[in-house]
Amino acid sequence: MVRDRHLVWCAALAEQAAPALLGPEQGVWLTRLNREHDNLRAALRWALDRGLSALGLRLAGGLLKYWLRGGHQREGRGWLAVLLALGADDDDGAAMAARATALEAAAWLAEDQHDFARASALFARSGALRRAMGQEERPDAALVNAALEARASGDYARATTLLEESLAQQRRLGNGESARKGTWDPCSPSPTAIPYWHWRWCCGSRATMRGRSRCARRAWP
């Protein structure tokens, strides 16, 4: 059907746009996705109405960066919630991976709105699904969420400890260089790395925070 093909096209567009929204052409891609926003909504609605959860979640998960960059967090959370509530229409590896990615997208959007408890629950669901698929779960994502929750409540020492733990995990996984350069990407298929600016924002919110320099020396070799 034409609308099925349209849904496939929109999913491919979202996946193509996702890495571009982190690069020098992000303005071009934001403009394009803004222009296609109604088309994307129509495709999401079609997936929902037809029970096409795998394709719908593939599209919704691919739009995470757009929703974050464009200030559409509430809309993104809404679409992800209703699509994740659909029963699986396919149980192959690709469909399960799309669901896991969509769970993580929903978690990052929740975290961005300081709904840390919801984000934690979604990360846990995604981790369980990835374990069931024999994939590596992403415990550092949950650590970042917990760190930001601690920071929001004013517990800067706990925030620092949690982010240092995440950095240690990155080094064990061989991602020390990406963490040092700040190539953090919540949508990446590889485990996330915490950028220096994110770490500074989280544990450096108080200019007089004791031990900040000491923490920096420990975190960055």
Distance in angstroms (rounded) separating the CA atoms of residues 67 and 109: 8
Q: What is the mean pLDDT of residues 101-119?
A: 92
pLDDT tens digits for range 153-211: 888 888 888 888 877 777 776 665 545 544 444 444 333 444 444 544 454 544 333 34
pTM given for the model = 0.76
Q: Decide if 43 contacts 10 (C-beta within 8 A).
A: yes
User: Is 189 in a helix, a strand, or coil?
Assistant: coil
pLDDT tens digits for range 11-42: 999 999 999 998 899 999 999 999 999 999 99
Q: Decide if 3 contacts 55 (C-beta within 8 A).
A: no
The domain segmentation of the chain, as residue ranges, is 1-115, 138-221
Q: How much is the pLDDT for 212? A: 40
CA distances from 37 to 165, 180, 200 (A): 39, 35, 34
Q: What is the mean pLDDT of the chain?
A: 80
Q: Decide if 109 contacts 67 (C-beta within 8 A).
A: yes
Q: How much is the pLDDT for 163? A: 81
* Least trusted range by pLDDT, from 47-61, 78-92, 96-110, 125-139: 125-139
The separation between CA 218 and the C-alpha centre of its own chain, rounded to angstroms, equals: 27
Tell me which amino acid residue 80 is.
L
Q: How much is the pLDDT for 213? A: 33
The separation between CA 117 and the C-alpha centre of its own chain, rounded to angstroms, equals: 15
Higher local confidence (pLDDT), 107 or 140: 107
Place of tokens 């990155």: 170
Residue 89 pLDDT exceeds 50? yes
Distance in angstroms (rounded) separating the CA atoms of residues 79 and 60: 7
Mapped to the 3 state alphabet, what secondary structure does 51-77 carry? CCHHHHHHHHHHCHHHHHHHCCHHHHH
pLDDT tens digits for range 121-159: 999 899 889 888 887 766 677 788 788 888 888 888 888
Distance in angstroms (rounded) separating the CA atoms of residues 185 and 104: 12
